[in-house]
Amino acid sequence: MASSSSSSSSSSSSSLFRCFLHFFFFIISQVQAANLPFHPRDVLPLLPRQVSWPVLNSLNSPVDLLPSFVGSVSSSNRIVNWKGACFYENTAWVEFHNKTGSEIGGGTLHIKVSYPHSWTCMDLYVFATPYRVTWDYYFLSREHTLEIKEWQDKAEYEYVKNRGISIFLMQAGMLGTLQALWDVFPLFTNTGWGENSNIGFLEKHMGATFEERPQLWFTNISVDDVHSGDFLAISKIRGRWGGFETLEKWVSGAYAGHTAVCLKDSEGKLWIGESGHENEKGEDIIAIVPWDEWWDFELNKDDSNPHIAYLPLHPDVRAKFNETAAWEYALSMAGKPYGYHNMIFSWIDTIGGNYPPPLDAHLVASVMTVWSKIQPEYAANMWNEALNKRLGTQGLNLSDILVETEKRGSSFDELLTIPEQDNWIYSDGKSTSCIAFVLELYKEAGLFDLIADSIQVTEFTIKDAYSLKFFENDSSRLPKWCNDADNVKLPYCQIKGKYRMELPGYNSMDPYVHMNERCPSMPPKYFRPQNC
C-alpha cells in the first residue's frame, strides 16, 4: 500500500528501507524477548513514514488503521474519560474567546491526558470542523491546549457552538504521514487558504506559472457570440474552494478546478449550467442560472478570486450538438446534489499511479472516515454507496467495506480503481461532479457520436475534458472580444482573472473507446501513456 506511493523513490533507497525494516524488527524482537516495557507501536511515530506505514500494516488489520471518532466537544459539551491508545484517561472541552477582538472571536481546545500505559507511548489526534482540519500528539501527562485564534467565518463559529469540534484518535504510526502532509500541503493548515499559499503550491508542485495580465481583469463579452455547448473552465485560487481546487488540480494534473457549460434557449437568452453551484442554504447543487446572474456573482461576489476561460466549440462539433437533448438532460439534473462520489473516482484509475506522496489509499480511507463524521449528509454516504456499488453490496459502512474487501483477497487500493459507471444511480438520484455534468451533457447532445456507449464520463478529469479535440482551433474565428484586454493571444478566451490561465494539452485529443479509464496522474510531469 505505502509501497505504491513510495514507488517514486529509487530502488536503492527502497532497499535501504528494507534493510532498516529488518533491523527494526530485529530490535523489536530483542526488546520483546527482554520483556522491556516497549511495544513496536510506541516506536512507530519516530520512524520515517515509508517505514512506519508497512510496519503498521503488518501489525494491524486495515480497519484498525482508520481514525476512530472520540466525540465532539463544544463549550457546553465536555467529553470525559475516553480511552486512548496510550493515555487511559482523557478529558476535552472548548473555551470560546475573543483575543483578536473580531466579530466572531476564536477558541481554545483543552485536552487533558493522563495514565499512559507506558512512558514511551503517545497519542495522535486529528481535530476537525468542516472548515479546518488540524492535528497534534501528546507524550506527556498533563493539560494541553490547541489554539484557534479566529474562526474562519460566522458559519464555523456557529458550527462549533452547536456541534463542536470533532476529535479523532489516529494510529501513532500515522505521525509521519501527517507531518509529510503538512510539509507539502500548507492548505490543510489554518492559515493555508490564502491566495499566496495556493499559488505557491501550484508553482512548486505542478510547475504552474502565474503571469499577471494587464488590467482590466475581465472582458465584456457579447452574448450573441456565445452558443450552446461552449465550455467554461474556471480556476479558483482563494478561500475554501481555492484550497479544494488546488488539491484537485495537484492530484489530477488539471489547470482548472471547476467547469460550467453555456446553453441558449429558444429566445436566444444565455444560461449557465453548473454542477457545484452554491444555493442559498450553502449546499452545492446542480443549477441552471441566467448568464447575467452568474456573471454578476463571479465578478462581484465570489470571494475565491475565480479565473475564467471561455472555450468555444469548433463549428463542426457545434453542428453536431443537439440543443434539445442537451436542455432535456440539463433540466432533468437541475436541483440534484453535486457529485462528490464521482469526483474522487475520476482521478483514481491505477493502484500506483495516482497518489503523489504522501497520499495513499489509507489516507483516502482516513479522510473519508473523518469526513463522514463531520459532513454525514454530504460526501460520506455517497462514497460509501459508491464503494458498495464496486463490491456489489448494499449498506455496508466503511469498516465493513474494508473487512469485506480483505475477505475477498482484494485491497482498498484495488477497490478504488474500479471505474465508475455513468448509469449507476445513487440514493439521491443521479449526481455529477462539475465536469461529469458537462461531459454527460455533451454525450446526450451527441458529441461522442457512435462511441458514446463506450465512454464513461465520470472517468474524465477536468484536464481530460479540455484536452478533447472539440474546441475552436482557428484563432481568426474567435469572437472579437476574445482576449482583447490582454497582450498575449491565447487559443481560447480568458474572460476573467488577474493571472493568465494556462491549459496544457488544450484541444489535442480525439475521443476513443474506454478513454481515460486506466490513466496514471503523477505530479509533477503527469505522464500519460497513449490510449490509457
Ligand X SMILES: *[C@@H]1O[C@H](CO)[C@@H](O)[C@H](O)[C@H]1NC(C)=O
Nearest distance from C-beta of residue 400 to ligand X, angstroms: 5
Q: Is 158 in the site for ligand X (CB under 6 A)?
A: no
Query: Do the Cβ atoms of 125 and 174 come closer than 8 Å?
Result: no
Instruction: Rank residues 375 and 397 by Cβ distance to ligand X and give the closer one.
Output: 397
Residues 164-223 that bind ligand X (CB under 6 A): 216, 220
Residues 225-284 that bind ligand X (CB under 6 A): none
For the four alpha carbons of 357, 361, 367 and 370, in that order, the dihedral sign comes to negative
Contacts of 283 (CB under 8 A, 6+ apart): 337
Q: What are the distances in angstroms from CA 253 to CA 305, 440, 476? A: 20, 21, 29
- Sheet arrangement for strand 284-290: 284-290, 270-278, 258-264, 231-235, 307-311, 493-496
Judged by CB under 6 A, which stretch of 133-141, 245-253, 397-405, 412-420 contacts ligand X? 397-405
Binding ligand X by CB under 6 A: which of 21, 46, 59, 104? 104
Judged by CB under 6 A, which stretch of 169-177, 253-261, 330-338, 393-401 contacts ligand X? 393-401
Instruction: In whole angstroms, give the CA distance from residue 320 to residue 322.
Output: 6
Q: Is 474 in the site for ligand X (CB under 6 A)?
A: yes
Q: Is 108 in the site for ligand X (CB under 6 A)?
A: no
Q: How many CA atoms lie within 13 A of 500 on its CB side?
A: 16
Binding ligand X by CB under 6 A: which of 473, 488, 489, 524? 473
DSSP string, 408-442: TT--HHHHHHSPP-TT--BTTB--B-HHHHHHHHH
* 40, containing H or E segment: helix 40-43
Binding ligand X by CB under 6 A: which of 485, 490, 509, 532? 485
* The C-alpha cell that represents 290 in the structure block: 441566467
Query: Do the Cβ atoms of 260 and 297 come closer than 8 Å?
Result: no
Nearest distance from C-beta of residue 61 to ligand X, angstroms: 14
Count of residues that interact with ligand X, criterion CB under 6 A: 17
Instruction: In whole angstroms, give the CA distance from residue 209 to residue 247.
Output: 16
> What is Dmax (Cα atoms) for the chain?
85
Q: Is 400 in the site for ligand X (CB under 6 A)?
A: yes
Q: Is 507 in the site for ligand X (CB under 6 A)?
A: no
Binding ligand X by CB under 6 A: which of 3, 9, 399, 410? 399
Nearest distance from C-beta of residue 491 to ligand X, angstroms: 10
Residues 355-374, one symbol each (x = binds ligand X by CB under 6 A, - = not), give: --------------------
Nearest distance from C-beta of residue 69 to ligand X, angstroms: 7
Q: Is 103 in the site for ligand X (CB under 6 A)?
A: yes
Nearest distance from C-beta of residue 328 to ligand X, angstroms: 6
* The C-alpha cell that represents 121 in the structure block: 507511548
Residues 306-365 that bind ligand X (CB under 6 A): 322, 324-325, 328
Q: Is 105 in the site for ligand X (CB under 6 A)?
A: yes
* CB-CB neighbours of 63 under 10 Å: 15
Instruction: Rank residues 143 and 296 by Cβ distance to ligand X and give the closer one.
Output: 296
Instruction: Rank residues 413 and 472 by Cβ distance to ligand X and give the closer one.
Output: 472
Q: Is 491 in the site for ligand X (CB under 6 A)?
A: no
Q: What are the distances in angstroms from CA 237 to CA 243, 308, 373, 388? A: 7, 11, 27, 34
Q: How many helices (H) and strands (E) does the chain have?
A: 18, 14
Judged by CB under 6 A, which stretch of 23-31, 96-104, 305-313, 337-345 contacts ligand X? 96-104
Query: Do the Cβ atoms of 264 and 227 come closer than 8 Å?
Result: yes
- The residues that touch ligand X, with contacts defined as CB under 6 A, are 98, 101, 103-105, 216, 220, 322, 324-325, 328, 397, 399-400, 473-474, 485
